[in-house]
Structure 1
């Protein structure tokens, strides 16, 4: 190929041989934390091991403890922190001194197809492809072991049975859910997660190796495999490529490279990618990410020349009109068979709650979060998410709708506005049945309401009295039965009428119905003389809840009750306007009592968090142990385990450890060596 005009003539030709003997087992080790002049060739290599599939290598090398640069006191201190004062086979440093260090590898590159090791001998160049390029860096895993030792010593120094405390603190109530079949997209996300990769890496076993130094005879023998073992000319292939083809082989064009892009968040999409989708998918994707948008802004985000009529057709399938602006539908944000990432509430319940929020914004500019929560009975995190989608908080005005009313769109598209109004009337009808309200309760007082039917206060009172009379027989019957169960005498005359004579269980020296720090079921907080008693359904819920949790604050009980309401199927309205007072009455009627915990004066707990109730009677012999525990907590809001053990032993003889463990697990929670009733721990 050379000619007389070439500026770069060929001086020498060298034969190149491809050696394959070590092609699948040759690694290049790099030591980036140490200069090349300071090699590890003369350092004593203690152990070596490898995980071939992951290309992970660990080398354990000795440290010269006799070197003048070695600090013996520091080495002894590190060994003491890691292994403690004891001695066994699991010790990291057997000589009670840091006498070794571990090097762990990371891959410098995952693609080694362009890298090879080459040796030149007698005018021949022999190259061997590399299997991997690994960077060896010091591993400090022994520091993790030292931290664990420190935590164990701190736990041992705390008062009480710290090991039991930790075990009890780790024991928490869990909710068991049966997972649905995993989608392909979810499976891809799972196998790319850090946790999955760590698990797969841990599953591969280590292969232990024997290290041979650079001057060892075995090393010299292995180096011979870097030369091509067969140099038969008949097996050699001559390069018949043109210069351009050969250059393309050495440096392939970028288009041929398959670059694996990281999986981005599902809500991240470039405009170029967006416009490759069908129009309906474009509108759905935009609304799902933006949540609320004027129609003019939506048209501006779509490609120029897009037909507005087609966009209007698409937007009505995925969004609702609120104050002239389009808001994404709830079932688009919360698809079927999903649940809330905050509370685990099913998607159907979330959709009903969010639809109520959007419906309220069709009536007025601002809503109050507390009022919304009291109606839809969903956890505060979910309610806040609903409001943040479409509104912003204003001082003394609640949550105000995010955008101003788009009057221009309503005037221009009156037919669509009317159709959306009729759609909202249908949604309102469903919501009224689910949440048991009427629209008039939420209408702004200063807005004209010519179409509404006026109901006077006297008429409403009469209607309420009629409803109460209808429910009176069943409530009175339930009241008679429960009074008889609480120790009251039931008389029945010849006509079959019943008369209840409650027993006198009060004490003139104990005001407010409290006995030894507990509020009993005969306290003035429960009205036994009228028909406004907690319903049997409410008492059943309270009974089941306390049978499961044993001790609850009023705040936690309200949270569980709201979750119970939210999980009910649509249209199921057994509970009507249950107040905090009625909830407390139900607790006191269900064999529970209030525990007067003496919270510290500087406590920041809310009033609902300071009202603590405990299950008093289940009919088991174990009840007396629980009552004794409650009595201890009326004297102090936190107690050590040994004090509880001593009190049980004093009252009931030898108390087995299993009984004490069960008692603490049912009623208490541990923190820093002290035990607290559930829900009363002070941050």
Structure 2
């Protein structure tokens, strides 16, 4: 409250007390199958029991058999099926009619450390921590008992007169089997199995309870323990914690919660939990679940700002490059000491068969299932599993590789592609020995071949020399043309050696940060070496000018979002391209440089945010642009806001409102401020940030 924020005034102060009398005894019951207006508070409760260690509760509630909604004949039929015609004390329904219902509990959550029951009295709030939150649902175990009775009657009828057969001593052969030592993986599977959990639940005995109604005197007496009993002792001190300490008490760090988190099934992938793992484990988990993925998609699933070089190191440990895409390694899917769920084939044999399928897909895009099965000689179910993991069946065409060839990745990362190529050569030699085939037995289709990856050192050196020679020739011709057009004598440092004056650099799609001043210094324009000099008035330069369609897209996008980082604009542009019909190429080849020049030509400016040094935002995320002029009077409000953020990457609302009043006068209303913040900013922790510059 030291900031003087008028939007969040203190209305009332309430004393909070912690009641400990019912700690480890208080449970919250929920009835998800009944509306709140139809509670069981006034129903007759016949019995109650609990298993404290498992937090398992059962309640028996009487049914109103005199209700017009009760079907008497159906109730009698159910009782007959469950108990039969005998009259015993152990019968489930002693009245020969289904006159009661059992409710059984399941845990709504395993961690109740952040939940408490609260009562408010005379300006005081009393909190009691909850031991458990249980959902009570109807139990249908009586149906199991009815099935058991039915099977017993059938067995008795089929027995007949088999007494003579039972009297005879038949000699039977006995097979003795010795069980193998249980592995750690098998033990973990057994512990997590449904049968083991059921056995563990059955071992704990029931503790029988007495139920007291909501208006019973004993209930009223116990209800008083919800209030703190020692309010005048010295233990009740005032809370003296800083806001950050109090926040950490309310929301403990994730590391403290790892112990109590329930272990989910292995095939369920939570992105929130995934990003708490180390980068290598994240990549391994993603590849194990997805199995085939382009590198660009993998980067999109990881947290923004993740280093692509580190991801490349991790992906090569758990996947192999096939058709420019990454396919998870076989030993990741089939670890040692495991076997096929279909046929029981050991993991080592499965890995060899799957590696053969992957290697064949590096040679061509389509495989025939029969040809593969004839070589690897594995059961049809396992072969089908291999193919389904990385391909799709086509009618009368076999199995096509799942994804199109990613030539862009191979061009951008030739060193990785070369390393993977050498790795596949080693795998191929091993497969040839195991399956007794030659690579000449498989002639890949010409159109399915990827571009050659292996380039010798001599070829690289020759190509580099030819490239330099071509550039020198082109520069010399350009300088000769300039000499013929001008009468000025050549300068000592200019024409004597043109290669010392002009530095030729390759233009790539990945650009350096832009200088929004647009000045030309040290051979750069807008911060780019040898960039085309763009005239902001006519939009043309010595390079490729942006198309009108690209200018319209950028303009319309900023009129909708007002503030965008370069990373977010590229994402929106890619989504827009994906929505276009096939073959629609009106935008041409759009580079990062062209996109940024188009932004500056669309009445937008770069906002030079002073990001903190510890910020993990990528270079494209730190390039933030805002709509400077849209033709409306509200442009002045946005310009003032952008100037505020050029001094600090975050600001408080009262600071923004004060600055707007100073610049634009008292005509600035609360509605104007609300609109401005809604259009351009996002709130986090009481501070306001430009959109896209912070991730909550």
TM-score by length of 2: 0.46
More relative contact order, 1 or 2 (CA 8 Å, 6+ apart): 1
TM-score between the two structures when normalised by the length of structure 1: 0.46
